[in-house]
Structure formats: C-alpha cells, structure tokens
Amino acid sequence: MKEFKQVGEIQSLGNQELILAKSNLKQGYFYKIKKRAQSQQSQTHYVLIIDGSKSSKQHFHDIKKALKWGLKFITTHPKHRLSLIVFEGKKEMKWLLKEVQAEELRQQFADIEDVIHHVLSHYRYASLINVLESVMRQLDFSIATQFIVFSSQTFQLMEYEMDLKSSRFLKVATLLNQHSVRLDILSFNEWIPLNFKKWLEELNQMGQIHYCLKKSDSMFYLKRIMKNQRLTILLESGEIFLCRKGERIYTTEPLALEVMDDEVIVAFKQPLQISDSILGREASSLQDVVKEFYNQFAIYLLRSKSISQASELLAIHQGEILSKSIKEGCTDSEVLESMRCLANYQSLKKESSLSVLNLLECVMTDEASSLLWNRHQPYENVTPKIQAEEEDLAFLPSSVDFFEVVDWIFSNTKLNVSLKVKVEGFVEELTTGLKVEAYQFKTYTILLDGILRVEEIYCVLSPALKKRCKELKLIKKVLYTFNQEICVINLKKLPITHHLIYERYTPLEVSQMIYEVERLKCWQGVLKEMLLRRKRQLFTTQRLQEDARCLIKRRYHITASGLYVPRGKKESPRLETEYYLARVVEWKAMEFKKEAEKRLAYEYLMNRASTEETSLEVILMDELKRVSERRKNLQEQVNLIRLSVSLQKVDFFKWDEQKVLPKTQMDSVFKINTILRGNMMVSTKQLLSLKVCENAYTVLVRCPVSSSGQEC
C-alpha cells in the first residue's frame, strides 16, 4: 500500500459511557483528526467521472456548478492534476480532460460545458464497470489518485451486472486498493443496491456514497472530498469505530490505518493506543459527536444485518431519522432504505427540524408560551361572512391590538389549519346604548389548501422556545406591551411541515389511532345522548332563582362564562362569489362496528352507575370530558400526520389497492357538481385486523371575493 504524508493531528474530545444496548455499556473515548493547512506542494490527481445517461440531464445545472468550483480549485493548486470523463452508453466514454494541470484549465471550461450539455441527453443508461476498467488501464498512479463519480441512473442495472460480472468488480476493487485509489460516488438517485454498497465500502476501503438529495449537496460533497486529504496512523491495539467511514476494527497487533481529515474515532474500554502523539482535550461539547456516533453505529449494525440490535439502539436513543420503522424481519429493500436515511443524517441535520406546524404545536402545548392574533395584520377572508339575525344587539371588540389564540383547528378532510381566537369586547344594546362585557370566538384560516396565508405570527415565548427561535434567526422583532414581550416570528424562513412529523409513527400505529378516534366518537355520542335524556328527566317547571346579573346576561344573550351567543346566524348576502380548488384527503377506518361499540359504551356506563355512589349525571359529565379531550388530541395528531404526508406527497401507508370511483357533491347555490372530473381515488390498506382507506379528490369551494381587512 502506498504511504501518504500525514496532514492532520489527533485531538482528544473526551470520554463518555455509551449505551449500545440495554445490557451493553462501554466506556467510549472520542478523538478527531484535525485538518492542517493543505500544502501547496502536495499532489493529487482528481478524476471526475460524469454519468451521461439521459436522467442526468435534470441535474446538469448542479453538476456544472460543482465542476466550475472543481476547476477553480485545481487552478489554485498548481501541482494537482485533473481528468474529466463522460461515460455515455454501455461501452462509450469520452475524455474531456486527461491529467491536465492548472495552467491548462483557464480557457477550456466553455468548450467542456458544451460537450457535457450535448452528451446529457441521448442515452438511457450507462455502465460504470466499463469506465472503471478502462480508466484503471490508462492512468498513471505515480501520485495520489481520487475518483469522483457524478451519477443518477448508473445503479439501476448494477445488481444485474454484479451477478453476471462479479469477477470484474473484484478485479477493479483489487486494482483500486493496490494503487490506494479512493472512489467516491455523488449519487442523485436515492436507491443504490445493497450488494454494490457493500462492495464499495468493504473492497474499496476508502470508498463512500454521498446522496445528493438537495440542489446544493453535489457542491457540498465535492468541496469536502477535494479539500480533505488522507493520512496514515498506526493503531497499536484495541477496538475502535470510525464514525465517518462506519467501520468497526479489532486488532491485537500494530495496524496501519488510513483515515480522512475530520474523521471521528471512538475507542472502546481504553484510550486510543497509537504511535502518534495526541493533543490536549478540545473544549467543545461532546454531545453532538456522541449523537452522531449512535446514528453511524446503527448504520454499521444494519449493514451487518443486526436488525434487532439496530432497532434497540435507535429505540434507546430516539434516532431522529428512524424510530419505529426498523423491526426484525424487514426485507433487504427496507434495510437499504434505513441505511440511506441514516447515512444521509449528516446532511439532513443541517436543515432545521422546525417547521410552521412544529412551531405552532410547540407554542400551543407549552404552558409558558402563548400565541396571539394581531387584529391589524393583513388577512383575507375566505369563508362566507356570517352575521347575527338580531338587529337590537351588536358585538363590539375591545380596542386592544392582540387577542389570545385559544386553539388551532385542523380540517378533517382538507389541507387547512385555522386559529381559534378569543375576541374580548362588549355587547351593546343599540336602542339604549347600554353595554355588557362579553367575548366571542372567531376563526382565521392561516393554511389554505397547504398554502401559508400569513407571513408572521405573534407569540409570547418561554425562555427555551425563545432561545431556539433566536438560534434559527426566526425572530423578526420584539414588541413590548402591557408588561409582555411579544416576539414577531417570521414564518417565511420555515417549511410548512417536516418529515420528522410522520416518521415518528408506523402505518400500523396511525391505523390504530384512526380506529381509536372512531371508537371515542361512538362513546361521545352515547354520553351526549344519555346526558340529554337525564336533563329531560330532571326538568321541572320551577325556574331557578337568578340574580340581577344573570338576568342581564340572559337579556344580552351572554352565557354564564361570558360568551356572546347571537339569537341566530345567517350568511351575509353577497353578489360576488369566487371558487378555489381544494384538495381533499380523508382517512377512514373501514369495517368499524359502530353499533356494537355503542352498546359496549352504554353497558359500561350503566354498570358503573350501579356500582358507584356518585350520581349518574356526574359520572356522565366526567366521562364526556375525558373522552372528548382524548378524541380531540388523537384527531389532531392524525390530522397533523395526514396533512404532512399529503403536502410532502409521501405514500405513507403503501396502499394495497387503489381504484377510481365516481363522486358527486352538489353546490347549494349554483346546483353543480363541485368534484373535479366527478371522481375520487380510493386507496385501501390491510394492517393486521385493521383496514383503513383514503379518499382523495379535488373540490371547488365557494368563497367570497377576496377582500383585505379584519373581522375583529
């Protein structure tokens, strides 16, 4: 093996007890390879190989930007060399550049760009093995060599090719190792065959696959690869784990080990035994490094087919990308998907795990935080204007700028989210001018068909939540009013939803939640019916004595709690009406036995009433409160998952059957079918004894002509 000049230092990060399983505790000592300034005299030959298949055309802009940076990097390092290859069909490849140095690159990129643009349009697929064999025969490996492959479709045929030509791959891998050539693949395709991944990581020991799932990823990984250099350390003995490489090593005798700059090494049981000196401990926090270790160690377990151990590890440490989706008995494709998700953790964690829906959930569930509605913020009404029938009373909101948001409301079918606002004010009797304090609830739709309708929200935040928003630079400004610190949160910087919302659950768990909502709905109906019957039995003609205040409230249609309830409501007449298209995604429990569940609820309640001393009315009220709260929380969670899955267009349930059925929904005013194309997609899934379905269609929704203004 060729020796490489050491260009890094070994930095101690500290030690911590690691929980690898419930009964497996090990002391871990963490070290990091610290990068030194790269020498202008070092030499590396970078061989950039571009997949010229037709599917790569959509990534041409990203590839071009990355190549521009790569060429510029070479021009600033005169000793480096660059080769540029495009492989087109099963056997064809083109050398656009071959072992050129900095001074030869300055005037050539325009011509190279035209050639690349031409070849990224004709071929359906290309074969990497042919290119690797040809390049290995033609290159001079007198200096350190690095292969970097940009690819999209190459690996769709890779499993087939490896079965027939495994000896060719072994030969190429042997040559790569003999010449100490690193092969890095920047893949625009999320799926790579498991046997190819194993071949790359086991036979070509320095090889790695980088998944370019976002536009900036190809540039990010190319920079990391070309700026980093290899170094050799001599491991005397012990057990270690390489986090970036995802490799576990045992040795009882000295072993020369090649690692990359910024590699994190974990030594188990005892400190690292190496021949090189170790610098003093770094002052930075160890928690992020330990968290990354657990995720990378899970990759290692998955690759070793230790599915049970990986699942236990993730369950203990609540893996951010996977949680309950990895189970014993999963197929190779599921293992591969798990590995892809975990391997991509490094790039995914750069994104904020906070989204608009996450933020609303945090604020609404945090006792020390509150969400406010600014009555002066721009808002367009999208629901029919409702007014009271009575003409002698009018509700007047108070003159304050902010009202409290008491709840957030999900549509059970559409992709809408509304805020329920408590508007405080007065009810005025128009004939006398007398006023009585009261409040009303108003709803404001902030998410309409998955589109955000407000750019900012107003919150009183707890210290922890405020710190998190500051770190993400979400706080636009701070307002001080009535001894409150109101933070203005900029929602434009956040995505609507995030994959972590639904990845916490398996399809089976969500199905159980849907069935539980249906069960609680039955119980709620039984409880309300029994309470209504009970009130009728207790009704007497004797009026309860009321004080003067109660009589006044009754006169002004105000409840005991202060809620103004108009005598009747009607839709305001409007001459102008417009429609908008709304997506409907409805999840249902199929074959649910409602009548049996209602009988069960009735028998349970009557049996409890006969055995307890508490009155039936108190029992019913307590049960109704408990069931209603439980149903509301579950329904919110199901709707949050449904909304996130629909907006991100994820096939969450992996439906067993899908079919198109006719669907009719008549408009009450214009008497037309508002269902687009008059049909809906019905999808079904059987999970153990549970069967769920999804009804998906697009509907025309009638609404008033958009007009700015507030309803408060």
**What is the tens place of the pLDDT at every residue in 399-419?**
888 999 999 999 999 999 999
In sequence order, what DSSP letters do the residues of 483-520 get, joined into one string?
TEEEEEEEGGGS-S--THHHHTS-HHHHHHHHHHHHHH
Q: What is the pLDDT of residues 226-266, one digit of tens each?
A: 876 556 666 776 788 888 777 788 776 666 666 666 778 88
| Residue 5 predicted with pLDDT over 70 | no
Residue among 99, 20, 92 nearest 50 (CA): 92
Average pLDDT over residues 576-604: 86
At residue 540, the pLDDT reads 47
| Residue 531 predicted with pLDDT over 80 | yes
pLDDT tier for residue 511 given thresholds of 50, 70 and 90 = very high
Q: b vs e for 560-596, b when ≥16 Cβ sit within 10 Å of the residue's Cβ?
A: eeeebebeeeeeeeeeeeeeeebbbbebebeebeeee
CA atoms within 13 A on the CB side of 92: 12
> Residues for the chain: how many in total?
712
At residue 321, the pLDDT reads 42
At residue 599, the pLDDT reads 92
Q: What is the largest CA-CA distance in the chain?
A: 106
At residue 458, the pLDDT reads 93
Q: What is the pLDDT of residues 141-170, one digit of tens each?
A: 888 888 888 877 544 444 444 544 456 777
Highest mean pLDDT among 137-141, 371-375, 701-705: 371-375
What's the chain's Rg over C-alpha atoms?
Answer: 33
| Residue 119 predicted with pLDDT over 80 | no
pLDDT tier for residue 385 given thresholds of 50, 70 and 90 = low
Instruction: Between 129 and 544, name the one with better pLDDT.
Output: 129
pLDDT tier for residue 430 given thresholds of 50, 70 and 90 = confident
Q: Is 328 helix (H, G, I), strand (E, B) or coil?
A: coil
Highest mean pLDDT among 128-142, 457-471, 573-587: 457-471
Both structure tokens of 421: 């606002």
At residue 638, the pLDDT reads 95
Q: Is 550 helix (H, G, I), strand (E, B) or coil?
A: helix
At residue 4, the pLDDT reads 36
Q: Which of 148-157, 162-171, 207-216, 443-452 has the lowest average pLDDT? A: 162-171
| Residue 44 predicted with pLDDT over 60 | yes
Integer CA distances (angstroms), 518 to 623, 645, 696, in order: 16, 21, 20
